[in-house]
Amino acid sequence: MEQRRPPEYILEVFADPACVKDVVKAILHTIFFHRYFTSISPLTRDLLDLTLPAIDDVDLETLIDQRTIALVRAIESTHQQRGRGQLVVQFFEKRRRKTYFFGKADEEVCWEQWTLDVTLATPRTETDVLKVRRAMEKSLQKAAMKIVNIVNRDKDHIPPITTTDQNPFPYHVIVNPKAAADTWGPRMGIF
């Protein structure tokens, strides 16, 4: 477990500027919906004719909103890579570091990583608008289905849950980890 490289799942979504925020949020919520192990009252949100699950958690909601906004800004501001952006969601487990001492030092060990590649499409014609919308719906549904299939397929790597009080697994959401390596240096260190 310890040395094992955490599984990394890559999702790709396609969105137009108007919906990119909602799409990214929906994907993040869907991921967290399957990784937020505390008892929840599930929510659903409709987007592009799809109904996607969501978690009623203020902190998580805030985090997702912040990261999504940051990602969209990054995509819009930096024109590098044709309107592409990347979000990385990492789940950690707290492990009591086994030191030579009896220190309580806990460390967070990543046990799973989701990489969300976002491609921004800017339709210029009426027909393109429809095409992009269809492609967007398809990519969103495809990504959601992929999440569902992945979480059911791979369960053994989920660490034991040791607490019921709160979310057992810390998480991080990183925007453009490679490009923002400097900014996110501390967290990058986790890798």
Partner 1 sequence: MHPHPRPSPRTAAAANNLQTNPTRTNNQRDPNSDRSSPYSDTASYTDRGPDDGDGDMVTRAEQMSETEQRNYQKVNQVIQNFFTKAALTIVSSRVMLPQSFTKNGDLRQNKWFNVVLDDTDVMQNDLMEWKLMDAVQGQHPSLCIEIFLDIKGLGHKQSLVIHDDQGKRWDISEALNVPVESSSRPPSRMGRSTELVLERWKIQVGDKNSVHPSELRDPLPNVYKKAVVLFRSLYAYLRFIPAFKYYKSIAKQPANHPSLKLKYRISNGDFKSPRPDTLSIPLYPSSESVTESQVFTPSNSPIGPLCISVDYRSNCEFSVDDSESLLSSHFMGLDDTYLEQSNREPIQVPGSLPVNKLNPQGTPELGQAYGSMSTFHQVGPPTGTSPLSALRAVRDMPSSSPVDSPPQKLPPNHRVAQGSKSSLRSADTPSYQRRTSVSFQPFKAGSLSSSPAPGPVVPPSPGSSLGRPSSSLGRNPSALTQPRNRTSLTALPQTALRAPSLPNETAFASSASSSPKPAPITRYSSSFGHRRSRFSSGGGSKTEDDNLSSGKGSVASSQQPGSDVLNEGEGASSGSIKTDDENISDFLKLLEQKKDLKSFNRSDNASRDATMRKTTAQLSKYQRLRDSHVALSDSVSSSMLLHRSSSSSSRQLSSVPQMIAGTSVSTSSSPGKPISPHTPHTPAIPSRLSANSIIEYEPRRSRRNRPSSTSRGHTSANVEEGSESEDQGTTAIDIPTSPRPWNYNRRSSSVAQQNRAMEDESDLYNLRSASLPVEEIDRQRDLQRIAAADLTSSGLFAQTELVTSPSEDHQAADSVSPPDSRDDIQRTLSTSDIPSRRGTYAGSSRGRGGLSSHHGSSTSLATGGTSSTERQSRYNFASRHTPLDDDEPLLFQMSEIGAGSRRSLEEGRGGSSTGSGGRRNSPWLR
Which residues contribute to the site for partner 1 (CB under 8 A)? 30, 33-34, 37-42, 44, 46, 49-53, 96, 141, 144-145, 147-149, 151-153, 155, 158-164
- List the one residue out of 114, 98, 132 whose CA is nearest residue 171: 114
Closest contact distance (angstroms) between CB of 75 and partner 1 is 27
* Whether 119 contacts 15, CB under 8 Å: yes
Which contiguous run of DSSP H or E holds residue 13?
strand 8-15
Cα pseudo-dihedral 29, 167, 38, 59, rounded to 10: -50
Closest contact distance (angstroms) between CB of 186 and partner 1 is 25
Closest contact distance (angstroms) between CB of 41 and partner 1 is 4
Calpha distance 159→116 (Å, rounded): 22
Q: Decide whether 130 or 161 has the Cβ nearer to partner 1.
A: 161
* Whether 143 contacts 11, CB under 8 Å: yes
Q: Decide whether 35 or 67 has the Cβ nearer to partner 1.
A: 35
Q: Decide whether 46 or 76 has the Cβ nearer to partner 1.
A: 46
Q: Quote the tokens at residue 33.
A: 């919906």
Calpha distance 43→98 (Å, rounded): 40
Q: Decide whether 141 or 183 has the Cβ nearer to partner 1.
A: 141
Closest contact distance (angstroms) between CB of 82 and partner 1 is 30
Hey, what amino acid is at 75?
I
Place of tokens 């998480």: 171
Closest contact distance (angstroms) between CB of 155 and partner 1 is 5
Q: Decide whether 17 or 108 has the Cβ nearer to partner 1.
A: 108
